[in-house]
Amino acid sequence: MSAVGTHSKGAGGRREASVLLAAGNTRLVSIFGSIDDDGERWVHYIVDVDSHEYRLFSEQVKGSIASVTAAAPGAAWYERELHDLFGIEVEGHPSLQPLVFHESWPADIHPRRKGQVGGDYRFLKVQGEGVCEVPVGPVHAGIIEPGHFRFSVVGDTVLHLELRHFYTHKGIEAHFEGVPVMSGMMLAESVSGDNCFAHAVAYCQALENAFGVSVPPRGRALRLIGLELERMLAHIADVGALCGDVAFTVPATYTARLKEALLQASARVTGTRWWRGVARPGGVTRELAKEDARALGSAVAAVAHDFAELAQMILETPSVLNRFESTGVLSSNVARALGVVGPVARASGLKADVRRDHPYGRYRTLTLDVPHYSSGDVLARARIRMDETAMSARLIADAVETLPAGAIAAAGPWDGSAEGFSAVESPRGELLYFARVRDGRIRRCHIKSPSFQNWPALPLAMPGNIIADFPLINKSFNLSYSGCDR
Amino acid sequence: MKLAISLIQVLLIVGTAPLLRGVVARIKARIQNRRGASVFRPYADLWKLFRKEDLVPSTASLLFRLCPVILFAATLMAAAFVPVLHVSALLGDRGDFILLVYLLALARFFLVLGAMDGGSSFGGMGASREALVSALAEAPLLLGLIAIAVVSHSASIASIVRWAISRAPFVLSPAHAFACVALVLVTIAETGRVPVDNPSTHLELTMIHEAMVLEYSGPSLALIEWANAIKLNLMLALLVALFVPWGVAATISPVALAIALLCYLLKIALLAVALAALESSVAKLRMYLVPEYLGTACALSVLAVVFTAFTR
């Protein structure tokens, strides 16, 4: 378990966590609740120490808990979610308003436990001459996921933005309960469609850590290929969408072709475009024949080559740079305070990358040079994705060339009782699964999604920007509604 | 006979307006390496919309339904000022270019009014942006036209064209050059094309024209879309008439008219290609750079007026 982190249980878990979080070298990864075999509520804190060690602190809830938001602002949403779902009172929280639940939700129902919940939701009222509120969503003009954005603007300049999400809360963590260990991947794959393989792998790794099962080298290499392919797909699509948002249509459609080429290459060699059903606890389900590996490798290389040229062209177009530069700046201080992860963090000067900081699978044997930028604007977030696409292509080429022989999956004893957690670097950033198993069935599964972590940072990149630039800034974060709401 | 020709000219602008949109969209698709929709797709869209129910927001007044009609009527009337085949447009000699400009302003005024009457925040946002763009575009449009009117000693579009075709092809004044660039910039802004507005976006916060029509549906939307297409066609026809009118028929003879039709279609087709190429090669401007863009147009049109002093 040392590779994934330590776990301390006891009465002082919360205090230990908050003391750690107040120190400078730590980052909040996740907070979640669970109910043990005796029906008692527990609260769990996962803290990343020195960017190299995950520590899990657990404490039984007696009455209420004290908030850690003052020490780690990124805890605000997690504690509101705890309050909604488990009815745990959090003392000292700056604004313990409903997060998951909307106005129509009955006041005293907590899906995970009965308790008390506060009244109506109130948006922060910005007052002053010429300030007006612009409500946007949850129904949008295009076909996107539902989310509500409340802007307070003066003219076209945004003073304040407040998010109201969780229109797609599906209770997936609750759905996990009672699911046999070997069937949970399907649920994990449905959390966030475009990151389905990362979710499945994170789920499998949590179980492998829980049961102490080691994935054979060939299985690790195949997982790396899938994970990096997924990253390429996401990043290429994101760069295209950024161009589409500024009406630069040629690269927007060109990326659609590149993405399709990767999807078709995937379908040819694995039988699935998005690698669904490929990950399983212990390894993977599909063998990759030598000629298939070579075909996939050359398809990836061709796409990476075309994309590099396209990226160059985008970065050399003045009208695009004018839109991207200095738009939607997320300062590194804010990013650090909110524990922002993934490409968004790396564009704001944080070097966080799970593949390097908490290596897993084949990444343990690799030395990664993680790209990062410090300007924190839309351009930095676009460049991060361009650089990482090239890096992913190199990782895939390396894995395809040096594909180890042997089994693709390890058999494991999956029918006992255990608990564990593990993180992967999904295209959106750190994705962590915590799993508790009782007699071969999931008892509690917590999903720390990168979108849940990063959404609160988006409003802080908005003030001072014009409202017409919001879609572009939002696209440069490209967060998942479904993955956040779960 | 002359009246028939004049009517045909108006019908040509109004009738081929959706086709022009379809052609521009098709060329853009080809530039993007896509096959693209049929060039006749805008006609199908209009046909579909005309047969649909017209939904009116419960908060809207009578104005909401009235505005698209006034918009369409004013645009249609403006189209009657532009000579296409024959030098005499239907209303070419009955009103000057100032009337043309203000007919377009009238159309826009009612579009903005209707957008605000719809009651959605996006309608209001689009309306305020449209008001800003049009207020800034009006000065260069007028100044550019004034420059040409001064040079050709006439205020009516028809006699401007008559004056131009009496001269040797492509021998115009420096004032024309400045006015031409200014009016091209204005045309792009006025018709809501990239880089000022994006006609194909679905992002409501970035829209100008599309935000104004979000609440419209059915026949009302069809009228607005058609009027918008006519406006693009008429602005391009106006550019052709003012700056490259050669080929237009001075007499009513079948041969002259046939040549005029061919020349007109060729010129508009070239402009459509140029428009599609421009829209494909630049990103949309930041909203607060649009005033600078129109400021450039304004400066050019002022230069055009200044240069009329040196033109005899």
List the strands of the sheet with A53-60, edge to edge: A6-9, A53-60, A41-49, A26-35
Q: Who's near A180: CB < 8 A, 6+ residues apart?
A: A440, A441, A442
**Minimum mean pLDDT range among A3-12, A273-282, A311-320, A352-361:** A3-12
Q: Tell me the average pLDDT across B91-113.
A: 89
Banded model confidence at residue A468, pLDDT cuts 50, 70, 90? confident
Q: Any idea where the domains of chain B sit in the sequence?
A: 2-311
Check CB contact under 8 Å for A156 and B287.
Answer: yes
Mean pLDDT value across chain A: 88
Chain B residue numbers with beta carbons less than 8 Å from the beta carbon of A471 are 203, 205-206
> What residue in A sits closest to B193 (Cα-Cα)?
A247
Q: Who's near A33: CB < 8 A, 6+ residues apart?
A: A41, A42, A43, A44, A61, A82, A85, A86, A88, A112
Banded model confidence at residue A4, pLDDT cuts 50, 70, 90? low
Chain A residue numbers with beta carbons less than 8 Å from the beta carbon of B203 are 141-142, 245, 471
pLDDT at residue A143 tops 80: no
Of B204, B286, B289, the CB nearest to A141: B204
> Which of the two residues, B63 and B169, has the higher pLDDT score?
B63
Chain A residue numbers with beta carbons less than 8 Å from the beta carbon of B287 are 156, 466, 468-469
> Quick one: which H or E segment has residue A434?
strand A429-438
Check CB contact under 8 Å for B286 and A470.
Answer: no
Check CB contact under 8 Å for B279 and A247.
Answer: yes
List the structure tokens of B22. Answer: 């379809």
Q: How many angstroms separate the CA of residue B261 from the nearest CA in chain A?
A: 33
Mean pLDDT value across chain B: 89
Of B28, B195, B206, the CB nearest to A468: B206
Buried b (16+ CB within 10 A) or exposed e, B88-125: bbbbbeebbbebbbbbbbbbbbbbbbbbbbbebebbbb
- Find, among B144, B193, B152, the residue nearest to B172 by Cα: B152
Give yes or no for B285 touching A (CB within 8 A). yes
Of A257, A320, A469, the CB nearest to B283: A320
Check CB contact under 8 Å for A245 and B194.
Answer: no
Q: How far is CA A479 from CA A78, A137, A219, A390, A432, in A?
A: 17, 16, 29, 22, 16
Cβ neighbour number for residue B149 with a 10 Å cutoff: 22
Check CB contact under 8 Å for B286 and A322.
Answer: yes
Q: How many angstroms separate the CA of residue A319 from the nearest CA in chain B?
A: 5
Q: Give the pLDDT confidence score for residue A113 in this predicted structure.
A: 62
**Minimum mean pLDDT range among A79-88, B32-41, B196-205:** B196-205
**Separation of alpha carbons B131 and B115, rounded Å:** 11
Q: Give the pLDDT confidence score for residue A486 in this predicted structure.
A: 86
Residue spans of alpha helices (H) in A316-353: 318-324, 332-337, 342-347
Q: How far is CA A14 from CA A24, A95, A171, in A?
A: 17, 20, 25
Check CB contact under 8 Å for A257 and B206.
Answer: no
Phi, psi for residue A307 in degrees, rounded to 5: -65, -35
**Separation of alpha carbons A165 and A137, rounded Å:** 10
Question: Residue holding tokens 């036209």?
Answer: B145
Chain A residue numbers with beta carbons less than 8 Å from the beta carbon of B204 are 136, 140-141
Pairing outcome for strands A157-164 and A279-280 = unpaired
Report DSSP letters for B105-130, one per residue: HHHHHHHHHHHHHT--HHHHHHHHHH
pLDDT at residue A2 tops 70: no
Query: Mutate which of B33, B125, B194, B205 to test chain A, going by most A C-beta atoms within 10 A?
Result: B205
Banded model confidence at residue B182, pLDDT cuts 50, 70, 90? very high
> Which of the two residues, B52 and A416, has the higher pLDDT score?
B52
Q: How far is CA A8 from CA A12, A211, B303, in A?
A: 9, 18, 77
In this predicted model, what pLDDT tens digit does every residue of A343-368 receive, in sequence order? Answer: 999 999 998 899 998 999 899 898 88
Banded model confidence at residue A122, pLDDT cuts 50, 70, 90? confident
Banded model confidence at residue A34, pLDDT cuts 50, 70, 90? confident
> What residue in A sits closest to B121 (Cα-Cα)?
A134
Q: Give the pLDDT confidence score for residue B263 in this predicted structure.
A: 92
Q: How many angstroms separate the CA of residue A341 from the nearest CA in chain B?
A: 26
Q: How many angstroms separate the CA of residue B75 from the nearest CA in chain A?
A: 27
Query: Mutate which of A140, A148, A249 to test chain B, going by most B C-beta atoms within 10 A?
Result: A249
- Find, among A234, A223, A221, A193, the residue nearest to A389 by Cα: A234
Chain A residue numbers with beta carbons less than 8 Å from the beta carbon of B201 are 247
Give yes or no for B192 touching A (CB within 8 A). no
Check CB contact under 8 Å for A323 and B33.
Answer: no
Check CB contact under 8 Å for A247 and B198.
Answer: yes
Of A140, A142, A323, the CB nearest to B286: A323
Q: Give the pLDDT confidence score for residue A1 in this predicted structure.
A: 35
pLDDT at residue A450 tops 90: yes
Banded model confidence at residue A119, pLDDT cuts 50, 70, 90? low
A to B CB pairs, distance under 8 Å = 83
Banded model confidence at residue A117, pLDDT cuts 50, 70, 90? very low
Query: Mutate which of B208, B284, B290 to test chain A, going by most A C-beta atoms within 10 A?
Result: B284
Banded model confidence at residue A3, pLDDT cuts 50, 70, 90? very low
Q: How far is CA B88 from CA B10, B183, B263, in A?
A: 11, 22, 17
Q: How far is CA A127 from CA A97, A133, A162, in A?
A: 21, 10, 15
| Stretch 213-272 of chain B: residues touching chain A, C-beta under 8 Å | 214
List the structure tokens of A343. Answer: 């490409």
Tell me the angle at which helices B121-152 and B157-165 cross, rounded to the nearest 10 degrees.
50
Question: Residue holding tokens 């942006």?
Answer: B129
Q: Who's near A257: CB < 8 A, 6+ residues apart?
A: B33
The fold of A172-477 is Cytochrome-c3 Hydrogenase; chain B (1.10.645)
Check CB contact under 8 Å for B34 and A322.
Answer: no
Q: Any idea where the domains of chain A sit in the sequence?
A: 6-100, 172-477
Phi, psi for residue A246 in degrees, rounded to 5: -100, 20
**Separation of alpha carbons B56 and B67, rounded Å:** 12
> What residue in B sits closest to A251 (Cα-Cα)?
B32
* Torsion over CA: B156, B136, B107, B46 (sign): positive
